Amino acid sequence: MKGKRGFTLVELMVVVLIVGILAAVAIPIMRGKIDSAKWSEGKAMMGTIASAIRAHCAEANTNYTNADKSILDWTTLGLNPADFTGTYFDASLFDWDVTYDMQTNDLSFTITATAPATINSPTTVTLNHQGVWTP
């Protein structure tokens, strides 16, 4: 009669331990990738806002300062806030400061997006007039 073949308890415990270690390492990494993917929606919206700011300042014959914030709103930029309703982000999560001097054609702006509750990290991301993203 042949002997029974199979895995021993020690072999099974080693496999379970290895799978547990891999899961403990992989879950935080995957969580960061999920947040990064969610932020891509917000960054795309910020890019649209940046394009609208550049286009408006190029067409308008007006100087802007950060004090003029109420003047340079969604409508002035030619944007509809309802179009900025995505899966994770909406128009209420975006804010911008613009300074433009039409004599020197000097434009600087900072667009800030605040993370919704479904995103853990980072809590805010900014885009400046040079195209630099800062978490």
Average pLDDT of 101-112? 88
Per-residue tokens: 21: 């270690």
**Residue 51's Cα: distance from chain center in Å?**
17
List the helix and strand counts (H, then E) for the chain.
Answer: 1, 4
Residue with tokens 């899961």: 23
Tell me how far apart the alpha carbons of residues 44 and 68 are, in angstroms, rounded to a whole number.
25
Domain segments of the chain as ranges: 11-134
Instruction: Please tell me the total number of residues recorded for the chain in this structure.
Output: 135
pTM higher than 0.85: no
Tell me how far apart the alpha carbons of residues 131 and 134 are, in angstroms, rounded to a whole number.
10
Asked if 131 contacts 80 with a C-beta cutoff of 8 angstroms, the reply is no
pLDDT the model gives residue 18: 93
Q: Which amino acid is at 32?
A: G
Tell me how far apart the alpha carbons of residues 46 and 114 are, in angstroms, rounded to a whole number.
11
Q: What is the pLDDT of residues 42-59, one digit of tens each?
A: 999 999 999 999 998 888
pLDDT the model gives residue 68: 64
Helix spans in the chain (H): 9-59
* Percentage above 70 pLDDT, the chain: 94
